Amino acid sequence: MYCVLVPGVESARVEGPAEQVAPEAARAHDRPSRCLVGGAHAFILRVSSYFGLAPLKFESRSNGLSVSISSAMCIYSYILVTILVVCTILGLVAEVSAGVEVSVRMPSRMAQVVSACDVLVVVLTAGAGVCGAPRRMRTMLAFMGSVAMVDTSIGGKYSKSTERKLCALLLCILIFFSVLLADDFCFYAMQAKRTDRQWNVVMNYAGFYLLWYVVMILELQFAFTALSVRARFLAVNDALALTARHLYIPLEKAKSPSPLNVYAIRVSPPGPGGGVDPRANVSLLVDSLAAREQPVVLTKSVHGTAALGVSPSEAVRRLASLHGTLCEVVRCVDSSYGLPLIVVLISTLLHLIVTPYFLIMEIIVSTNRVHFLVLQFLWCLTHMLRMLVVVEPCHYTIAEGRRTQSLVCRLMTSVSERPALGSLPSRVELFSRQLLLQSVCYSPLGMCTLDRPLVASVIGAVTTYLVILIQFQRYDT
Amino acid sequence: MYCVLVPGVESARVEGPAEQVAPEAARAHDRPSRCLVGGAHAFILRVSSYFGLAPLKFESRSNGLSVSISSAMCIYSYILVTILVVCTILGLVAEVSAGVEVSVRMPSRMAQVVSACDVLVVVLTAGAGVCGAPRRMRTMLAFMGSVAMVDTSIGGKYSKSTERKLCALLLCILIFFSVLLADDFCFYAMQAKRTDRQWNVVMNYAGFYLLWYVVMILELQFAFTALSVRARFLAVNDALALTARHLYIPLEKAKSPSPLNVYAIRVSPPGPGGGVDPRANVSLLVDSLAAREQPVVLTKSVHGTAALGVSPSEAVRRLASLHGTLCEVVRCVDSSYGLPLIVVLISTLLHLIVTPYFLIMEIIVSTNRVHFLVLQFLWCLTHMLRMLVVVEPCHYTIAEGRRTQSLVCRLMTSVSERPALGSLPSRVELFSRQLLLQSVCYSPLGMCTLDRPLVASVIGAVTTYLVILIQFQRYDT
Amino acid sequence: MYCVLVPGVESARVEGPAEQVAPEAARAHDRPSRCLVGGAHAFILRVSSYFGLAPLKFESRSNGLSVSISSAMCIYSYILVTILVVCTILGLVAEVSAGVEVSVRMPSRMAQVVSACDVLVVVLTAGAGVCGAPRRMRTMLAFMGSVAMVDTSIGGKYSKSTERKLCALLLCILIFFSVLLADDFCFYAMQAKRTDRQWNVVMNYAGFYLLWYVVMILELQFAFTALSVRARFLAVNDALALTARHLYIPLEKAKSPSPLNVYAIRVSPPGPGGGVDPRANVSLLVDSLAAREQPVVLTKSVHGTAALGVSPSEAVRRLASLHGTLCEVVRCVDSSYGLPLIVVLISTLLHLIVTPYFLIMEIIVSTNRVHFLVLQFLWCLTHMLRMLVVVEPCHYTIAEGRRTQSLVCRLMTSVSERPALGSLPSRVELFSRQLLLQSVCYSPLGMCTLDRPLVASVIGAVTTYLVILIQFQRYDT
Amino acid sequence: MYCVLVPGVESARVEGPAEQVAPEAARAHDRPSRCLVGGAHAFILRVSSYFGLAPLKFESRSNGLSVSISSAMCIYSYILVTILVVCTILGLVAEVSAGVEVSVRMPSRMAQVVSACDVLVVVLTAGAGVCGAPRRMRTMLAFMGSVAMVDTSIGGKYSKSTERKLCALLLCILIFFSVLLADDFCFYAMQAKRTDRQWNVVMNYAGFYLLWYVVMILELQFAFTALSVRARFLAVNDALALTARHLYIPLEKAKSPSPLNVYAIRVSPPGPGGGVDPRANVSLLVDSLAAREQPVVLTKSVHGTAALGVSPSEAVRRLASLHGTLCEVVRCVDSSYGLPLIVVLISTLLHLIVTPYFLIMEIIVSTNRVHFLVLQFLWCLTHMLRMLVVVEPCHYTIAEGRRTQSLVCRLMTSVSERPALGSLPSRVELFSRQLLLQSVCYSPLGMCTLDRPLVASVIGAVTTYLVILIQFQRYDT
């Protein structure tokens, strides 16, 4: 609904002459139109752009790819999705009109209804994903500025190896899904060979399988974005723990000094030879801030250990502010992915009810179709994986939110009554009050909260349903 | 339960001699008996009054309609609803006693029970709506004073075009619903023609279809009221964001200066030539306040931009007070629409279970009754729409409540430690503590909270139910 | 679990020499062993004692009945319930062994299981109620002291007419229930007449019907207790509103001055001629407090209007303390009625599933047994009533808790920044923080919260179940 | 996820030269590698170690057993569980391939699926339990240090008799479960005798029954751990109540002076002749603290009554800190038992659905297999008991958490405005704010909260399911 990201919150701290600040604050309201990306983020955006989910123009620079909204790509996206949707719908109509006798996926009137629902849900999800893509990308460019500011203000660094691992994971998921889709496609084509309809099936379902791809990449895009945001919450928490350690309050064990920047939305600082036009660069404000302000965490090169770059009191104030900014980012991501996520959740629930049913019926009735059995089992696994891809990043984010609460709470208990700490106690108390009002969670369209209890209730519903169905089966046959 | 609206909260700020204040405070307790309405609000009240849901007397004035509770209209309402209910019940009895052989809507014993439940639920809803109407109107007159005070205190203005759009939307919904009812009526009348019972059907069901109208208008009335209140929450939030901007804390992007007064309960200020008796006018107190106090937001005519009319500290104090008043208004609306809303929700749930079932069975069994198919589909859509008409305004209100929390939280973080701001930090902190105790939500009779998760659980229940029914169908036929 | 009521909280305010206070505080820990009751409370305790649910000794005094735990009555309770339970179990065994051919309530193997469950649930509820009665009465004597202290400290008074109305309501419910049970009994006896087994049925089911009575009175006893506590929350809230009015903050409309003491646990102050031994009187401490402290609310006889007896600041402090005491009382009532309430809820849920099913099947299958139809309808109504008897008082209590929150919140907003009010702002703030930590709700055994959403979910479960059953019925017959 | 226990929180109070504190704080981060246990804790660890659930080395000392992680035992655990799992899976395959005609537990294709699920769930639970055992034990050694610090800081003592009772209870549960398993085993072996397959059955199911043992002991281990932690919450609450009494605020009745140390993780202080190496002893820091700091509660030997050992203000500060430490311990236990608990809950839910169904069908269909009937009834009871073993300790912990809230709330109300109390009011207020941010509950993997409402919803689901099944049964047979 209301998604507002103003990276200049920090700059408003100046209490001096208002005239100087006002234009800067006004400038901060300009929508950023381009930014530099690299590593896994560039990879996922590239893949998304092929499937119409990221209408961006990529320009190669010395230190990464510069991305910006591209009208041409928007038109490509819309044309692509329109063609796919029209093909799929026409294929569905063709299959339905072919009749229940020769159709391989619709051997009965009931199967026609179920199959049509299945196709329509996929069409709806992909359509919602592609149509909302330009707005989503514009939001992404906006909150990448905030995220970059958090990185600069905390003093995080990127690791190449983590980026590579992430790219590999993404590739694995996509390859597994491709193999599954191809196998499913072949199975039905082979079935259709008996009635010499294999080319009809190939033509009728090609669009459907391509739309499945769009849905899968949409989910991965959300998961990636949520993980990126969560990595910043983690960094804020680590900096908070470091602040506590600095005060000799050992809230947590000392961790390795560089876990701050695992997943990556990479916004490179524009060096003197950097290819990005400084006037269009989102991180301009951030850089000017960075030039003026010391980052919270410094990584000393000698021992490789992290240290506080500012006083604990200042660190707490800035971490509280960054936490507030990240909560805004969560709200933005939530509102820009709302509709597609809800459609994805409903489709996953329906598939999780129907697929295991076919699997178990196949086992019990046992007509020796091993290929079908394996296929159904893999589909079960895939739908489970799809749900986890969406829910797990949200769960991790919520867990980090709870860790922040715990850390602030312990810090509050420890620093009270230590007058030597100056304004620290009151700032920690302010942070604690801020946490009571701000919640860190994703709830697409406000329909439900994406976390593990949702998974638990879905599993519970599916289990109950399957037990009832199987139990009754016994008495009907 | 306890619905208390005292528009004079503002006036109690005077700490001087108590004797002067006391009579004024006492006067503020008088129930307001009339107020000026205009635009879409006048339209919905007019339509409601025809169907017995708003027993008001309308008097035309120069700047709108003056409305007041009318005993004559109360009697008209009661007579109208009594006649309709008696007709409906008699019709139901006649149809049941006609037997399952010739009845078009009750071809079986089971259909008789389902149909009787359907009719009784509509009768109950309409009855609850009409019987509570006088009390509801009295509450409405009371909280319109509070709403008008909020408008005056913030400095909002009305836009004619928004009013017109709203009227058009209302008309569209009513026309769609009329067409659907007429079509449904004709379908069954035509069915009955085969057995020459068409006039019996027309007579037996006329009351039932008219009661459907009463139910629909009741829902629209609630939706309109909730949207009005929500527009004020929006205005308070916008003023809060403006306050933050004034302090050079850019919490949100600057918006267009006049979004404050979208939906409309219009309380006109009584100009010197205004037709309303000043002694009976609810906005008297508000006006005297307005004369004494500057509105929070001023719209400068030169640039068309909004500006703060008072100091930020005073603005926060008054916005907190207005927020509290609006929470009271929400509680009032909630308690006055409690019973009808619950009956509406239960009836919607039942219809959402039964209607799609008939739709899907019709598709699968396929007896080529295209008219029936389209009709069932439209009824599905209508029941979904009815649920959304009730739930969406509540969802928007809750979202505004969350936005208030977020704004106050960010403001609190930003203004602390700025001694130049005087009492502002402590006032923002007070606002934040107030938000912890007051919740902005509608929960009719305390039975459930009206928001999107309710829709999600209804959709979930309906889906599970349909999947079970259809799955079993396969094995029974 | 932990149920601790120390009426002497007020007395601990003395900060002077500790030696004087200590013995008094220690004495306050003595369990009170007797107290004076009157009106409706005496009536319900009398009725309870006949059915073994209140093992008390009643002694008539000039100003009411003095009650105390009686060992003789405890033994009577245990003997009574043992006889009834043994009779019921033997009757059940006799009916089961009579065989499905001649039994009127168990025409099938399935009906035997359902009927046995029905009987066992009633036996369990009554057993849990009677066995826990002595402990429950001891807890009641303890919290009556707290309640009396609240009454004295606030300055509430009792109205004879309300007492009489309450007694009448109790009698109505009991008479309705007696008629229903008698009718049910006669119906089955008449059915059994056909096979000449009427005397067997009378003997086998007499114990069962008497145990139903025990269950019903147990529920009424809880409802009465919860309503009594709720009346004190209401009084605290009214006094809070009066305090606000005293400060010219018109939070609520002025109400009639004497609504403070509706339902009644009556603890008479022991006048000089009072018959209660002062040393054993629970209200001793309260009286000495009352002698030392002015009640918060005074009812002036001239105008009949209520006024504050102490300063607003002192009033808020004492109302906060009283609110805390009442929260303790709620916890005590909750823990002493925990087990029977849970059994009652489960049995109500089961009955609400089974009874409407028989009712609807009877309507659809239609074998013209009008008596059976009416009987089933009345049972439906009774089970609904039983659920409401348990849940409604809890809902009212929760609603009062919310009203307290709202009042304190508005008061907090209004009194801040008024230095003339002395310690009032800080005390109101303390009250608000107290409300964040203490919740006012009944949750028997921690299993669920007794409020309207519970009713909603029960109705939802029953509705879904009935819809599924009836829908399937169509395809099975 | 994040499980960090730093026993040195107390020591960080020193505000002097940081150089001295830093090494001590750093040392506090070393993982403790051994500790002293005794009584019931030693018993449960011994039993666990036989079944591979506690890979520890036990060394006998003068004042208990010294335990430490043992690599040899880890290898033993892994080998044990591998053998059992392989045996069970092979047995399952053998039974399935024996065919539905001769198998006693799998008379149909459907029974094969159900039985395979049953076996796989047990295998999964035991596997998850054993594989996570080393990590769990390491966590246990870590939080035992925290628990010992709480004991020392509060001044609790252990009672031999309670330890003995606890051991007896554990033995009873284990013996009951052994008898049940043996009976079940014999029943099926006897059934198999008819087809001369008894030795096949014995061989095929031996591994399965042994894995059941592992599951049961895993649950008991969790229950024991949770009860230990809960006993410390109880002790903190009692100390809080004692503090209140010391201030002449009689929040609760005086209890017996030594209920502090019921359940036991016993960490003996190393006397001069103690056998544990001081350098490796977890309680070193605690002892040095104890030498420096007076325990909060002293038990005077003359009257046997407890008394405060420090000033109330210091007591509240230290109790708040201990409460925070215990919350960390809860989080640790929660994260280390997460996965096995979820598997246990799902398996219990499935068993609670299937077992009563067989029981009731057996009663209704009635084929006179009394042994089978009793066996099914005992299994029902056992699965119910398993659920309670897991949920009840968590419920008690939550109840203690609520009691803390209530105590702090009452204390806050009472101590405000008493300037003589020094820093006490601000410390109590800090405690209250800490309670708002920290919650005391177990939620394995974040999937659900372990408390009584979970039991209620499980019972509700099972009841609904059984009612539907039995109701339908009537119409199918």
**pLDDT tens per residue, range D205-224:** 889 999 998 999 999 999 98
* Average pLDDT for C118-144: 88
Break chain B down into helix, strand, coil percent, rounded to 5.
70, 5, 25
pLDDT confidence band for C263 (50 / 70 / 90): very low
Q: List C-alpha distances in Å: A454 to A349, C258, C296.
A: 11, 50, 50
Neighbouring residues of C317: CB distance < 8 A, sequence distance ≥ 6: C427, D417
Q: List C-alpha distances in Å: D393 to A116, B265, D225, D229.
A: 50, 55, 9, 9
Answer yes or no: do A251 and D320 touch at CB < 8 A. no
Q: Rounded to 5 degrees, what are φ and ψ at C216?
A: -65, -45
Task: Please write the tens of the pLDDT for every residue from A120-164.
Answer: 888 998 998 999 899 999 888 888 878 877 887 877 666 777 778
Answer yes or no: do C406 and B331 touch at CB < 8 A. yes
Around Cβ D304, how many Cβ atoms within 10 Å? 10
Answer yes or no: do A463 and D29 touch at CB < 8 A. no
Structure tokens at C220: 């009424």
**Measured between CB atoms, does D280 come within 8 Å of chain C?**
no
Sort strands A306-308 and B34-37 into parallel, antiparallel or unpaired.
unpaired
* Average pLDDT for D194-209: 84
Q: Tell me the three state secondary structure of residue C169.
A: helix
Residue D165 pLDDT exceeds 60: yes
Sort strands C64-69 and B306-308 into parallel, antiparallel or unpaired.
unpaired
Q: Regarding predicted confidence, which is higher, D119 or A269? A: D119
**One pLDDT digit (tens) per residue for chain B, 477 residues:** 445 454 443 333 333 333 333 333 334 444 567 777 777 788 888 899 999 899 988 888 777 788 888 899 999 999 999 999 999 999 999 888 887 777 777 777 777 877 888 888 889 989 989 998 999 998 888 888 788 778 878 776 667 777 788 888 889 999 999 999 988 888 888 888 888 887 888 888 889 999 998 999 999 999 988 988 888 898 889 888 888 888 866 555 545 444 444 444 444 443 333 333 333 333 323 333 444 566 776 655 445 566 777 888 888 888 998 999 899 999 999 999 999 899 888 888 888 887 887 777 777 776 667 888 888 889 999 999 999 999 999 999 999 999 999 999 988 888 877 777 778 888 898 999 999 888 899 999 999 999 999 999 888 888 877 777 776 654 443
Return the number of CB contacts < 8 Å for B and C: 116
Answer yes or no: do A465 and B463 touch at CB < 8 A. no
β-partners of residue C60 are C65
Q: Where are the domains of chain D?
A: 2-476
Cα B338 to chain centroid, rounded? 12
Chain C residues touching B22 at Cβ < 8 A = 248
- Transcribe C133-145 into DSSP letters: HHHHHHHHHHHHH
Q: Which of residues 65-124 of D touch C (CB under 8 A)?
A: none
Answer yes or no: do A476 and B475 touch at CB < 8 A. yes
B80: nearest Cα among B55, B48, B56, B52: B52
**Measured between CB atoms, does D18 come within 8 Å of chain A?**
yes
β-partners of residue A281 are A34
Which pLDDT value is given to residue B386? 92
The whole-angstrom separation of Cα A208 and Cα B453 is: 31
pLDDT confidence band for D300 (50 / 70 / 90): low
- Among A247, A395, A470, beta carbon nearest to D110: A470
- Among D113, D461, D465, beta carbon nearest to A364: D113
Distance from CA of C24 to the nearest CA of D (A): 10
Tell me the whole-structure pTM to 2 decimals.
0.86
Q: Is the dihedral of CA B23, B24, B29, B31 positive or negative?
A: positive
Sort strands C64-69 and C34-37 into parallel, antiparallel or unpaired.
antiparallel
Distance from CA of A407 to the nearest CA of D (A): 10
With beta carbons less than 8 A apart as the criterion, state whether B155 and B296 touch: yes
Please classify residue C380 by burial: count the beta carbons closer than 10 Å to its beta carbon, then call 0-12 exposed, 13-18 middle and 19+ buried.
middle
**Measured between CB atoms, does B22 come within 8 Å of chain C?**
yes
**Measured between CB atoms, does D252 come within 8 Å of chain C?**
yes
D265: nearest Cα among D283, D285, D238: D283
Chain A residues touching D108 at Cβ < 8 A = 474
Q: Regarding predicted confidence, which is higher, D305 or A40? A: A40
Interface predicted TM-score (ipTM) over 0.90 = no
pLDDT confidence band for A22 (50 / 70 / 90): very low
The whole-angstrom separation of Cα C326 and Cα C150 is: 8
Q: Tell me the three state secondary structure of residue B142.
A: helix
Which pLDDT value is given to residue C300? 52
Cα B436 to chain centroid, rounded? 25
Which pLDDT value is given to residue B408? 92
State the first-to-last Cα distance of chain D, in angstroms, to the nearest integer: 52
Which pLDDT value is given to residue A477? 39
Query: What residue in A sits closest to D429 (Cα-Cα)?
Result: A413
With beta carbons less than 8 A apart as the criterion, state whether D31 and D257 touch: no
Structure tokens at B70: 């009318």
Q: Which of residues 312-371 of C touch B (CB under 8 A)?
A: 360, 363-366
- What subunits touch chain A, counting only 3 or more CB pairs under 8 A? B, D
Q: Which of B25-39, D17-31, D108-122 has the lowest mean pLDDT?
A: D17-31
Q: Rounded to 5 degrees, what are φ and ψ at A18?
A: -70, -25
Task: Please write the tens of the pLDDT for every residue from C429-475.
Answer: 899 999 988 889 999 999 999 999 999 988 888 887 777 777 665 44
With beta carbons less than 8 A apart as the criterion, state whether C21 and D249 touch: no
β-partners of residue D299 are D306
With beta carbons less than 8 A apart as the criterion, state whether A170 and A40 touch: yes
**Measured between CB atoms, does B15 come within 8 Å of chain C?**
yes
> What letter would DSSP give residue D281?
B
Chain B residues touching C455 at Cβ < 8 A = 447
- Transcribe A327-368 into DSSP letters: HHHHHHHHHHSHHHHHHHHHHHHHHHHHHHHHHHHHHHH---
The whole-angstrom separation of Cα B150 and Cα A147 is: 38
D360 half-sphere exposure, CB direction, 13 A CA radius = 24
Answer yes or no: do C445 and D452 touch at CB < 8 A. yes
Task: Please write the tens of the pLDDT for every residue from A405-432.
Answer: 999 998 888 887 777 777 888 889 899 9
**Measured between CB atoms, does D2 come within 8 Å of chain C?**
no
A396: nearest Cα among A234, A154, A241: A234
Which pLDDT value is given to residue A346? 86
Query: What residue in D sits closest to A414 (Cα-Cα)?
Result: D13
Around Cβ A79, how many Cβ atoms within 10 Å? 11
The whole-angstrom separation of Cα C374 and Cα C380 is: 10
Structure tokens at B192: 């009955």
Structure tokens at D383: 């699965």
Query: What residue in B sits closest to C394 (Cα-Cα)?
Result: B446
Cα B69 to chain centroid, rounded? 19
The whole-angstrom separation of Cα C157 and Cα B447 is: 33
Q: Angle C198-246/C312-336 helices, nearest 10 degrees?
A: 160
Neighbouring residues of A226: CB distance < 8 A, sequence distance ≥ 6: A333, A393, A394, A397, A442
Q: Which of B151-160, B327-336, C56-65, D295-304 has the lowest mean pLDDT?
A: D295-304
With beta carbons less than 8 A apart as the criterion, state whether B49 and B137 touch: no
Q: List C-alpha distances in Å: D205 to D130, D191, D193, D346.
A: 20, 14, 15, 22
Which pLDDT value is given to residue B452? 93
**Measured between CB atoms, does A395 come within 8 Å of chain D?**
yes
Residue D32 pLDDT exceeds 90: no
Amino acid at the residue D324: G
> What letter would DSSP give residue A278?
G
- What subunits touch chain D, counting only 3 or more CB pairs under 8 A? A, C
- Residue ranges of alpha helices (H) inside B99-197 are 109-131, 133-154, 160-193
Chain C residues touching B331 at Cβ < 8 A = 406
**Measured between CB atoms, does D266 come within 8 Å of chain C?**
no
The CA-CA-CA angle for residues A286, A290, A293, to 5°, reads 130
**B11, B30, B110: which to substitute to probe chain C, counting the most C Cβ within 10 Å?**
B110
The CA-CA-CA angle for residues A167, A171, A176, to 5°, reads 155
Around Cβ A200, how many Cβ atoms within 10 Å? 19
pLDDT confidence band for D442 (50 / 70 / 90): very high
Which pLDDT value is given to residue D16? 38
Residue A77 pLDDT exceeds 90: yes
* Average pLDDT for A228-242: 87
Answer yes or no: do A22 and B248 touch at CB < 8 A. yes
The whole-angstrom separation of Cα D176 and Cα A234 is: 48
- Among C364, C410, C467, beta carbon nearest to B324: C410
- Among B248, B399, B464, beta carbon nearest to A446: B399
Chain B residues touching A4 at Cβ < 8 A = 251-253
With beta carbons less than 8 A apart as the criterion, state whether B408 and B400 touch: no
pLDDT confidence band for C18 (50 / 70 / 90): very low
Answer yes or no: do C254 and B357 touch at CB < 8 A. no
Which pLDDT value is given to residue C438? 87
Q: Tell me the three state secondary structure of residue A281.
A: strand
Query: What residue in B sits closest to A109 (Cα-Cα)?
Result: B364
B41: nearest Cα among B181, B152, B143: B143
Chain C residues touching D251 at Cβ < 8 A = 4, 6, 9
β-partners of residue A69 are A56
The whole-angstrom separation of Cα D382 and Cα D351 is: 10
The whole-angstrom separation of Cα D8 and Cα D178 is: 44
**Measured between CB atoms, does D304 come within 8 Å of chain C?**
no
The whole-angstrom separation of Cα D139 and Cα A365 is: 48
Query: What residue in C sits closest to B22 (Cα-Cα)?
Result: C248
Q: Which of residues 185-214 of A touch B (CB under 8 A)?
A: none
Task: Please write the tens of the pLDDT for every residue from A357-411.
Answer: 777 777 777 666 788 888 888 999 999 999 999 999 999 999 999 999 999 998 8
Distance from CA of C422 to the nearest CA of B (A): 13
Answer yes or no: do C423 and D417 touch at CB < 8 A. yes
The whole-angstrom separation of Cα B25 and Cα B12 is: 7
Structure tokens at A28: 């901060």
With beta carbons less than 8 A apart as the criterion, state whether D126 and D214 touch: yes
Structure tokens at C76: 């009577």
Task: Please write the tens of the pLDDT for every residue from C304-323.
Answer: 566 777 788 888 888 998 99
- Transcribe B259-300 into DSSP letters: -TT-S--------TT-SS-GGGBTHHHHHHHHHHS--SEEE-
Q: Tell me the three state secondary structure of residue D158.
A: coil
